[in-house]
Structure 1
Amino acid sequence: MKIVEYDSKHGVLKLIPESSDDIWLLSLVIKPGDLVRGRTFREVRFGERGSGRSSRIPMVLTIRVENVDFQPFSTRLRVRGVVVEGPEKFGVKGKHHTITVDVGQEITIIKEGGWPRQLLEKLEKSRFRSKVIVVAVDYDEYAIGVVQEQGLRIVVEEALRLPGKDDPSRSEKLVQTTTTIAKRVLDIAKRESIGSVIVVGPGFVKEYVVEKLKELDGLKIVVDTVSVGGVAGIHEAIRRGVVRRVLAELELAEVIELVGEFEKLIVKEPERVAYGIDDVEYALEQGAVEKLVLLDELLHSPDPAMRERVDKMLKMADRISSKIYLVGREHPAYLKIKGLGGVFAILRYPLPRNTLSQQP
């Protein structure tokens, strides 16, 4: 994310998204009631009372946001709202319009109540965010995934069907297969500008893949052992912290570790955690929340009261310097967090369970 200009006094932030992760982040940052200004196209009819020909005219519009539409891992964000500023001659003020935000397009976001510190830090941090390819391979299957801020995206998942040990064609088939895997990895790396790959698996097949990668390109390669190949192997690599060691700043692996920490604490020290909207809101009011993990879908709940409540929680977290983690639907820990009511917190100090609405 390129921050072009920031006016803290008036809550005006001008920026340019530089990747699909940046587009995802903007989908979390832009909320109903915000103002968004950008260059767009609008269908305009000419002639008396608009009875003549129509044409798509480029113009700069400012809209008051009503809703935001984003598809995971896409490079486009649709922001819909009512026009509050635009060329007078086209009579667009007061009408609905959708601004489409693409990678590389400059937009301005205005939060009239000011920008929370945590959101600004998240946008600033996104300037240095990167992605990594993870390959998990064994004798039976392999998978290639891309780990990024939004979560894990599986790109390839296939069975290997290698011949048996006594088959004379086994060696040739192994070379062909691992060469194909290596070429697919390189295609993904070049297409998405990724410089690092993690190759994991239980046996020697991963070594063949690594050898082919080294022959074909100069990617940074990390090798580790997991118990299986395929998608399950990628998830194991993430859980074991292999990805975290490569991308220490990436929140995906950190959230998985926090889920693990929560599961231990809820058994051993239940007063050190809170989960569900009611419990977490109370813990925030007491200033007890150290780390807050929240599903991003709550920010765009169809229920206005829920959106307002979540926004209030984020502002409280910002005020007491809690660290906030926003989790997307594609994240490996999504279902676990969903099962906790979409939100949980690790507390700075114990809160008696009888002060909370839920029991462990």
Structure 2
Amino acid sequence: MKLLKKDLKHNVLTVVPENADDLWIISEILQKGDMVSGRTQRSIKTERSDTRTAVRRNIFAKVSVEKVDFEGGQLRAAGKILECSEGERGWHAFEIMPGQPVSIEREWKKYEIQRLEDAKVKHPKILVCVMDDSEADFYMVTEKLQHLASFRGVTGKAYGQEGREKYYAEILNYMKEKDCFRIILAGPGFAKEELVKMIKDGRELAGKVVVDGIAHAGEAGMKEVLRRGTIEKIVKSSSIALQTRLVEEFFAGLSRDGKVVYGRDDVRKASEAGAVAMLLVSDRMVRENEGILKSAENTGAEVRIIYSNHEAGERLLALGGFGAFLRYKIEL
């Protein structure tokens, strides 16, 4: 995400989304009543003699948003045209595209601006392979966590060394195909160690691979990698790792009966009392509870959005989607 202009006096931010993740962040912020403006494609009807034709043109338009749709990596903000370089009126579906500047006019909250600022930081792609001798799962970690592929090995004496080598070769070939900054090779047992030997012999991937011993394979193993902080050690700015650490610290405080509260009602009361130092809120709870977030910001609290597409986010959501670190204990 590029942030080209920040004019908070007039409530306008101009951004350039660079990928689908950036489009998703914008879709989470946009609401009915916001205004978007910039260059956009529109079919313009023309009349010549007895014929009417429609020509698709690149125009400037400003739209009052009525509906936001993000699907298949495409983001559209549809609504009434307020301004148009071609004098057009009516309804327009404004497509926000990677590489194209778009200005957004709305009443900005601090946490919304922070989300855009956070997206300016480029998070290197980290490929995680969680494996044992019978299965290997690949995940890509950026701002979000994505499961990419699964490979199944062959077990039993009948397959022997040839079967294992074929299994390892499939994993190695997949690693070589992926564009990434680092590769975490994690799992229980000796399978990962055998694969590491093959990697070192080939040298092509040797400088990229970090080995992590964990107790489980599969999805449980990926969750373990996140909890252990392996990703954060490689890329300290990785937002998913930071979110996991914040949620872990919150639950640690909860188990110690520390200065933390959870649940919408108790967090709201603590916020109104000015006792919240940091508010953790699930991305699924933001739109319906903006009053709580605004109250927290008005008392100087830091607001952190925790995405629900990983284990830490699921744990927070299970508590009602709200957790807060307090400046001091209060009676609720």
TM value normalised by structure 1: 0.81
**SS of match in other structure, 1:145:** strand
**Given residue 275 of structure 2, which amino acid in structure 1 is its aligned partner?**
A
Given that 1:200 and 1:223 are in contact with CA atoms closer than 8 Å, whether structure 2 keeps it comes out as yes
Q: Are 2:166 and 1:186 aligned?
A: no
- What secondary structure, in the 3-state scheme, does the structure 2 residue paired with 1:52 have? strand
Instruction: Check conservation: 1:135, 1:199, Cα contact below 8 A.
Output: yes
Q: CA RMSD in A?
A: 2.6
Query: Do the aligned partners of residues 159 and 14 (structure 1) sit closer, same or farther apart at CA in structure 2, a change above 3 Å counting?
Result: same
Post-superposition offset of 1:207: 2.6
Q: Distance in 2 between matches of 1:339 and 1:142?
A: 29
Deviations 1:304-357 (A, max 9, x none): xx3xxx2233333333343322233422234322222222222222121xx2xx
Conserved? CA contact 2:35–2:63, under 8 Å: yes
Deviates more, 1:280-289 or 1:220-229: 280-289
8 Å Cα contact 1:154-1:231 kept in structure 2: no
Q: 5-14 or 116-125, which moves further after superposition?
A: 116-125
Residue 141 (structure 1) shift: 0.9
Residue equivalent to 1:349: 328
Preserved CA contact (<8 Å) 1:32 1:66: yes
In structure 2, the residue matched to 1:96 is 91
Instruction: Give 2:281's match in structure 1, choosing from 283, 289, 294.
Output: 294
Paired position in structure 2 for 1:358 = none
Which of residues 266, 285, 303 in structure 1 aligns to 2:272?
285
> Which residue of 2 is the match for residue 155 of structure 1?
148
Of residues 95-104 and 228-237 in structure 1, the stretch that sits farther from structure 2 once superposed is 95-104
For 2:197 and 2:51, how far apart are their aligned partners in 1? 68
Moved more, 200-209 or 329-338: 329-338
Report the counterpart of residue 11 of structure 2 in structure 1.
11
Query: Counterpart of 1:120?
Result: 113
Deviation at 1:142, TM superposition (A): 1.0
TM-aligned CA distance change 1:29 to 1:212, over 3 Å: farther
User: Following superposition of structure 1 onto structure 2, how do residues 246-261 of structure 1 map, counting pairs within 5 Å?
Assistant: 246-261=234-249
Residue equivalent to 2:102: 107
Unaligned runs of 5+ in 2: none
Tell me how far 1:213 sits from its aligned partner.
4.4
Change (3 A) 1:89 1:35: closer
**Greater RCO (Cα-Cα under 8 Å, separation 6 or more):** 1
- Alignment-derived partner of residue 175 in structure 1: 165
Kept after mapping to 2: 8 A contact 1:21/1:148: no
Alpha carbons of 1:155 and 1:125: their partners in 2 closer, same or farther (altered >3 Å)?
Answer: same
SS of aligned partner of 2:178: helix
Partner of 2:33: 33
